[in-house]
């Protein structure tokens, strides 16, 4: 079965407090964040078709990084859109019907190969697969009068890659955009009674969006050396 992955890399760097898009920042091992992400998916399956979704104005910067840092993982580039939803839709236009496709945040460079494999294998059978981890902290729900404790065992934290049957995801992204679409699973759910299959993620699979996240990333790299 054909495998695809759309790697969404549309950050602007605002929350990092700088002008460099966060996906182009360097980790302590000397690699740009995005390079490590690409290499992990390539390591899972060298035959997988990788499509990188970048804002049009960032393509030149990325190509320069590929040259300077010997990024050899074969990939295609598609233009990002106004929102994440529109970026994914643009990427799906490059994928033929048939097979399974994952959507992954480019700034999640520590997803494990085991999690990627688990998602793709699950999607083969169930057509959907979303990695999650348990909530470790106490959770409170905001109400009109204040707040209340809820059972954290009833909740999960969602990660990527979120993997789907290609035909199913194309049909989902044919819908009109809604601000309620916070991830790909929410787009699929909007079509109706389609169950989302949850699989075990890995705690290290953080999304790097702030300077604090970079500090955590530094610790993860030190532990892996």
State the residue range of the domain holding 10: 3-224
Q: What is the CATH number of the domain that holds 191?
A: 3.90.550.10
Please report, in tens digits, the pLDDT of each residue of the chain (225 residues total): 899 999 999 755 555 545 667 888 988 888 899 999 999 999 999 999 999 999 988 998 999 999 999 999 999 999 989 999 999 999 999 999 899 999 999 999 999 999 999 999 999 999 999 999 999 999 999 999 999 999 999 999 999 999 999 999 999 999 999 999 999 999 999 999 999 999 999 999 999 999 999 999 999 998 875
Query: Which stretches of the chain are DSSP H helices?
Result: 33-44, 59-68, 84-92, 113-126, 166-172, 184-189, 211-224
The total number of structural domains in the chain stands at 1
With H, G, I as helix, E, B as strand and everything else as coil, classify residue 15.
coil
Output DSSP code: residue 203: T
Contact 208, 105 (CB under 8 A): no
Q: Dump the DSSP string for 165-182.
A: EHHHHHHHTTSPP-TT--
Is 12 strand, coil or helix? coil
pTM: 0.94
Catalogue the E-assigned strands of 135-171: 139-142, 147-150, 156-158, 162-165
> What was the pLDDT predicted at 102?
98
């Amino acid at each position: 079965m054909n495998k695809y992955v759309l790697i969404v890399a549309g950050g602007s760097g605002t929350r990092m407090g700088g002008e460099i898009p966060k996906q182009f920042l360097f980790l302590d091992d000397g690699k740009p964040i995005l390079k490590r992400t690409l290499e992990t998916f390539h390591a899972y399956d060298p035959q997988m078709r990788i499509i990188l979704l970048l804002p049009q104005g960032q393509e030149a910067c990325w190509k320069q990084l590929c040259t300077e840092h010997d990024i050899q993982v074969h990939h295609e580039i598609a233009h990002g859109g106004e929102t994440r939803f529109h970026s994914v839709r643009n990427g799906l236009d490059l994928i033929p019907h048939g097979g399974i496709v994952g959507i992954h945040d480019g700034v999640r460079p520590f997803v494990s190969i085991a999690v990627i494999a688990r998602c793709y294998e699950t999607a083969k059978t169930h057509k959907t697969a979303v990695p999650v981890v348990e909530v470790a902290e106490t959770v409170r729900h905001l109400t009109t009068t204040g707040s209340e404790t809820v059972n954290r065992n009833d909740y999960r934290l969602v990660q990527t890659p979120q993997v789907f049957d290609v035909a199913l995801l194309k049909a989902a992204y044919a819908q009109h955009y809604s601000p309620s679409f916070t991830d790909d699973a929410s787009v699929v759910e909007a079509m109706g009674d389609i169950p989302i299959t949850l699989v075990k993620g890995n705690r290290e699979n953080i999304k790097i969006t702030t300077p604090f996240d970079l500090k955590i990333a530094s610790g993860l790299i030190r532990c892996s050396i």
